[in-house]
Amino acid sequence: MSQPALTPGAEHLLRDLAPQVLGAVVRRYRDFAACEDAVQEALIAAAQQWPRDGLPDNPRGWLIQVASRRMVDQVRSDSARRQREHAAALDLGQVVAAASVESQADEDETLTLLFMCCHPSLTSASAVALTLRAVGGLTTAQIANAFLVPEATMAQRISRAKQTIRSSGVGFERPAARARAERLETVLRVLYLIFNEGYTASVGPSLQRVDLSSEAIRLARGVQRLSSDDTEVAGLLALMILTDARRDARSGPAGELIPLQHQDRSRWNRAAIDEGVALLSATLGRGRVGPYQLQAAVAAVHDEAARYVDTDWPQILALYTLLERMQDNPMVTLNRAIAVAMVQGPAAGVDILDALAADGRLVGSHRLDAVRGHLLEMAGDRDGAVRHYLAAANRTANTAERNYLLTQAATVREGM
C-alpha cells in the first residue's frame, strides 16, 4: 500500500512553519547547521506521519518537539560536546513543555530568525544567501539565479557561511535594538529578493509564488514596526505593496503571463495601491531618498496610470537614471533601457543593451535577450526580435515565461 501524501494545505503549512521552527530551535541550541538538519528531519517526519495520523493540534509545537529531540540525541552522541550535554540533554517532558511555550509565544520567530541570519561574522552576500535558504526556503539554484552566479558557487558560499558562524564564536542569538539597526540593510535586501522570487519565480511551472511574496510583505510589515522611522524600510514595503497590487492581472486563466501593457487594470488592487502610495508619500521629504523609495516611486507611476498609454515614461526614466547613479546594478540599467526606448525610441534603448551585454554581468540571463527582442520588435526588426525571443525562451527555467516568449516569437514570425 502506498504512503498517503500530504494535502496541499498541509504542504503550505509546513513551508510557513519551517522558518518559525528553525528560529525557535536555533535560539535554544545555537548551532545553526545542526539545527537546520534537525528541522529538516522534523519536516520529513511530518510529511510521513501527518497523512497517516492526522494533523496535530499544535503543528508548530509538534515540529519544535521533534527537532528538539533530534538535537538532544545529537548532543548525547557527540563526545566533543560533553560539556554542553548536561544543559542540552533535557528530559523529554521538559522538551515538550518548552516546545509548547515556544509554540504559544506571540513573538514572530521568523522575524527573529531573519535578523539572526544576518550575522556579524558574515559578509553581506553570504548573510543574504544563508537567510534566503533559512527564511525564504529558496533552493540553491534560485538563490544563484538571484545573484547571477553558478549554482555550485552559491552552494559553496552557503556552506562557508555556516562554517564561519560555527567557528566565529559569536552567539547565534536574538539581536538587540542596536544590532538590528546594524543588520537592517542586509535584512531589507533579503526581503527584496524573497519578494522578487515570489513575484516572478525563477524556476517551475507557475509565473508567481504567492506564498513567498506574501511572506516577504508580512515580514516587511514586521520590520517596519521595529524601525518605523527608517524611510527605506517604508520604501521597501511600499514597493512590495504597489507591485503586488498588480498580481491578479499578471496571469490569465491558464496561468499564462500577461505583460503590463495588456493587463486588465480593473483587476489591480486599488486599496493596495492607495496604501502603497500613502506609505511612500509619507516617507518623501523626511530624509535621504534611497533606492527602495525610488523603485516604489516607479511602481506608483505605473499603478496610477489609468491606461498603459497614459504611463508617464519621462518620469520613470528620470527615476531610473537617478537610481542608476545610486546603484551599479545591471537590472537597473536594463529597466532604464526600456524607459529610454519608450521616451527616445527603441534604437536608443538598444544602444544601452549593447553596452550592458559588453559589461558581461548578465551573461546567461534570459532577461537581456527578452528585452532586446521587445525593443527590436518595436524597431521593426522582426528577424532580430524572433531570434532574441527564442534565445530568451531557451534560457529561462520558468514555464510561464518560456511559453510567453515562444508565443511572442511565433506572433512576430507570423507577421513577417
> Cell match 548573510: residue?
127
Question: Residue 404: inside a domain, yes or no?
Answer: yes
Question: Residue 62: inside a domain, yes or no?
Answer: yes
- At residue 74, the pLDDT reads 76
Point out the domain boundary residue: 70, 88, 106. Answer: 106
Question: Residue 268: inside a domain, yes or no?
Answer: no
Owning domain of residue 404: 312-416
- At residue 95, the pLDDT reads 41
- At residue 77, the pLDDT reads 65
pTM of the entire predicted model: 0.82
- At residue 274, the pLDDT reads 97
Point out the domain boundary residue: 46, 71, 106. Answer: 106
Q: How many structural domains is the chain composed of?
A: 2
- At residue 12, the pLDDT reads 78
- At residue 375, the pLDDT reads 98
State the maximum Cα–Cα separation within the chain, in Å, rounded to a whole number: 77
Point out the domain boundary residue: 106, 136, 161. Answer: 106
- At residue 173, the pLDDT reads 67
Question: Residue 217: inside a domain, yes or no?
Answer: no
Question: Residue 185: inside a domain, yes or no?
Answer: no
- At residue 172, the pLDDT reads 64
Question: Residue 73: inside a domain, yes or no?
Answer: yes
- At residue 2, the pLDDT reads 55
User: Is 257 in contact with 207 (CB distance < 8 Å)?
Assistant: yes
- At residue 247, the pLDDT reads 96
Q: What is the dihedral of CA 338, 251, 279, 296, to 10 degrees?
A: -20
- At residue 379, the pLDDT reads 96
- At residue 98, the pLDDT reads 42
Cell reading at 345: 525610441
Question: Residue 238: inside a domain, yes or no?
Answer: no
**CATH code for position 413:** 1.25.40.10
Provide block-wise average pLDDT over 10 residues at a time, the chain (416 residues): 68 82 82 84 87 87 89 68 46 41 53 82 84 83 83 89 76 76 90 92 89 91 90 97 97 94 97 97 86 97 97 98 94 97 98 94 92 97 97 95 96 86
Cα 20–Cα 137–Cα 23 angle in degrees, nearest 5: 25
- Those residues with Cβ within 8 angstroms of residue 412's Cβ, 6 or more apart along the chain or in another chain: 377, 382, 385, 386, 389
Question: Residue 237: inside a domain, yes or no?
Answer: no
